[in-house]
Amino acid sequence: MDFVHDQLVTGRKIRVLTVVDTFSRFSPVLDPRFDYRGEDVVQTLEVTCAVVGYSRTIRVDQGSEFISRDLDLWGYTNGVTRDFSQPGKPTDSAVPSATSPRSR
């Protein structure tokens, strides 16, 4: 789970919450908003998990939205553990590409 950032022609910044299953590469969530807080992440996950079910673990970075008390309480209540990537290691959460030898 991570954010993708972009900027509109008007100069307004937009963020898209993306959730991807690293095994099947299925993406149940692409949720664009202009402003995202921890409680917004919880709200999006509640709607999504009602449809696709709860994961045991969600890999996230150290972003303020992912270390919030709201998300911590949601995870504890629903039995979901957050797996934090190591700070300064962008490849820690990388998914092997379809052409890499490791994915064959």
Is residue 103's pLDDT more than 70?
A: no
Summarised one tens digit per residue, pLDDT across range 65-75 is 888 889 899 99
CB atoms within 10 A of CB 65: 21
CB atoms within 10 A of CB 26: 10
Residue 45 near residue 65 (C-beta atoms within 8 A): no
| pTM listed for this prediction | 0.75
Q: What pLDDT shows up at residue 76?
A: 93
Summarised one tens digit per residue, pLDDT across range 16-73 is 999 998 888 999 999 999 998 889 999 999 999 999 999 898 888 887 788 888 989 9
